[in-house]
Chain A
Amino acid sequence: MIPDALRQQLQLLLEHQPIVKQIIQYLPSDLQRVAGTPEGLLALLLTAAVGLLVLLALAGTSKSKKGSSILLAGPMNAGKSTMYYQLVDGSQHNGLVASMEQNTGVASVNGRQARLLDIPGHHSFRHKLESSVKDAAGIVFVIDAVEITPHKVEAAEMLYELLTNSSFAKSRTPLLLACNKADLEEEAHSTEFIRKTLERQLDAMRKTKTAGIGKEASAGVALGAADKPFSFAGLRSKVALVECSAKAGQLDDVRAFIAGCL
């Protein structure tokens, strides 16, 4: 059945390798006889290999599900680190300055433990942000509701890069747009205004960025239908918009979102 060359190789293996003989001795007695022959040995090796492959495949698929941490991203001065400290420690201590490196910690949210990762909004951390998206179970994108108009391009760019990230799109990570600084009531814009501003910016960006840049080898991810104007409701991933205030500690919507992601 098996070719002669292979039979000869297996015979040599059986006769000259003491390890093979030792392993065969550990098998139950019925299999020992089978394993003594070249065909039996081949069959045994093949079944072992197939079993190993099946195990690997199962392990691989189980890991490709969602990650384990919640990502706090957003442009500079949005209030990400303030929100991080409020969630982890319950207060912002003596105040905060611009972050120079990421903050990681565990927050207890509605009785469950969540691992938070706060990445600074400076542009030199973009590649770190991109590499952390694949491990995120949910993303909280923090926006400054007061200064939305001067910084709308920057916020929309970061949001665009996040939405077109291939691992984000593939695993449909839930995304929360948290409009921070709602405690400044007169100056903070409403969520509707922020939604419309961002949608308009992303719509314009969609046309120019797919025209001019080829980012990933997978040719990027198209945002929504190309003919209709862009809207968050039309995306496949869940995108929600809430108001919150990290300084005053009004983070109930954010906590609910985080609890829902885990």
Chain B
Amino acid sequence: MPADTLMAKPHARPQPLAAPLVALRGIGKRFANVVANESIDLELRAGEVHVLLGENGAGKSTLVALLSGLLQPDAGQIIVDGSPMRILSPGAALALGIGTVFQHVMLSPALTVAENLLLGQGWWRRPARAALDQAVGAIARDFGLNVDLDAVTGELSLGEQQQVEIIRGLLRQTRLLIFDESTSMLTPQGIEELGALMRRLVERGLAIVFITHKLDEARRFGDRITVLRLGRKVGEISSERLEALDDASAHQEIVSLMFETIKATGEAVVGKERKRVAMSGKPLLELRDITVTGQSGSTGIEAISLSVWPGEVLGIAGIDGNGQKLIAEAIAGQRRLDSGKITFGGIAIDNLDVGARRKLGIRYLTDDRLSEGSVAAFAVSANLLLKEIGKEPFWSRGFTRTAVIDVHANAQVKEFDVRTPSIRTPIGKLSGGNIQKALLARELFGDARLVIFSKPTYGLDYNNIVTSRRRIAEVGARGIAVILISTDLEEILALSDRIAVMSRGRIAGILENTGDARLAVGGLMVGGALEHG
């Protein structure tokens, strides 16, 4: 990686304000009973990274959909190059030079990566593979892409798919490029690369919209910050002001805009006193030498051995796509082992199915919340009980007890702060972060003894990250064993007692989470990554 990609943005910042490339005037959009956007004014200028912040459900992605031609505003105007425009289709948006990297990856799982990247070309032509290789190669020099172009998209991890989605955005000739939470699944290194890349793009004269939940990214990568709240714009921090503020006061100002009532603590992390787990006792979960082959080209896992004790939080760090998901699936029972042994509470569970393992108290919160984690068309209340269907007290002798289910749903929605119009709303209609909260609520319900969290806070806003992390810490404190898989090193360091680092399907090392763990873990992660290239 060239050294300059890690550099922060330069201090001297541009010239007098240019006329906006795209401006929104009084934009409004409502769905049945949700006001997603209301009288929003926004100016997007060439040469600026414009950050959009806002809690889950604030209406950021809706605004993106309006700009990319997926939705039409109910009120207001979109002005491009000074004249009002109606962006009637995604094709029209692309023709205007507006490109989007979507929050929920918009790739066809059945197609290969290359085929997905080639979709938008003349119908009669042969897919122009050679040209694609060249173009991707050029981009990969700026922004590392560790994905095989011939891999079937659906078999990639979500993090890898997000890289592909970013590459697709960069492949197009755009004047305005929108990144909707594009750093949510990237590694720290990937995030820095994307930040540096955005900087170079705006210097070349592009306008960029960058949506994130991470305040430090907003501050470091952005020139201007707009904060949305409940569909309205509640504030904008101009580039001059952003420049003038020091880190702490910028942070304070943003957080108070976003959440008003909440005090900024300056730390998204629950302070956790690390305990030494009594590793003398019997471990609750023991993996001995397990091996699972990856499907068609994706990384498998090899000779994984680890143990987890009750009450312990074991973090699994590593660059996305290095086999973390396979470990989780093997423990949850979604994958057959090629070899090796898993024991849980003293019994071998290799041959038990998912349901039986769940009964034993094994819970798995997938990172793939849209396709694997939830049934989009089912009500929130049903999704909260997806894994309890047919069981007492919600079902009795084959009858559904709606009243009991509703009471449960209302309580869960309240406790986990799931923002939904009603418990009957299909879960697919919620914002990404709120779906995640509902799934968290579901997995923590009942007699859990081991909970596997896969990227539990990805896509959550600041406030919810704090509460979710607190919840995970509480789970551990209750004596439940926790496996925390995350690509976010901060999260791992904040919550884990011990940290296992994955690299290329193997465990590169397991360390105590002591003061100097950060460097050691980072070293193991990157060490693996370097070999990779």
Q: Do chains A and B interact in one complex? A: no
